[in-house]
Amino acid sequence: MKKVEPPKEEKPAEEKPVDTPPSNAKPEKSAAPEQAPPTPPSTALPSWQGDLLRHLSKFKRYPEDARRRGMQGINRLRFVVDGEGRVLSYEIAGGSGSAALDRATLEMIRRAQPLPKPPAELLNNGTLEVVAPFVYSLDKR
């Protein structure tokens, strides 16, 4: 029986290193990876999000025509950023109801590049998807 078990472990080990060697180690030590990742993102994510929002706010512009017409709204922007802070893709995930405000948000993300580099532990296959709300309020510019 003991002789049968090692060959079973060796066969998956031989197959997995061809694709991804680290994935072979993770299933064997399932308790350690589950405990380690939650702690770093809990401090890294809020810190990076703060940096990101401060950076984006420098490039956010309330369209003058929308301001004059009293247009207000909140839209949601979905974007994917790589480890260097380059925006790989972006789109409006939830419109504000105003094409002018939605355009202003798209222009903001274009002007704001490169973004602050996300912490490595937040990346998934080298990228991070973010969905962020942007408020256009005449009370809060």
Burial class (CB in 10 A: 0-12, 13-18, 19+), 89: exposed
Question: Do 56 and 125 reside in the same domain of the chain?
Answer: yes
Given a cut of 80, whether residue 45 has pLDDT beyond it is no
Between CA 24 and CA 42 the distance in angstroms is: 26
Q: What is the pLDDT of residues 46-85, one digit of tens each?
A: 889 999 999 999 999 999 999 999 999 999 999 999 999 9
Structural domain that includes position 19: 1-36
Domain shared by 115 and 72, yes or no: yes
124 pLDDT higher than 50? yes
Q: Does residue 108 form part of some domain?
A: yes
Residue 42 covered by a domain? no
> Each residue of 86-105: pLDDT tens digit?
999 999 999 999 999 999 99
pLDDT of residue 46: 81
Which token pair is 73?
A: 């709204």
Counting beta carbons within 10 angstroms of the beta carbon of residue 109, is it exposed (0 to 12), middle (13 to 18) or buried (19 or more)? buried
106 and 127 assigned to the same domain: yes
Asked whether the whole model's pTM tops 0.75, one would answer no
Average pLDDT, the chain: 78
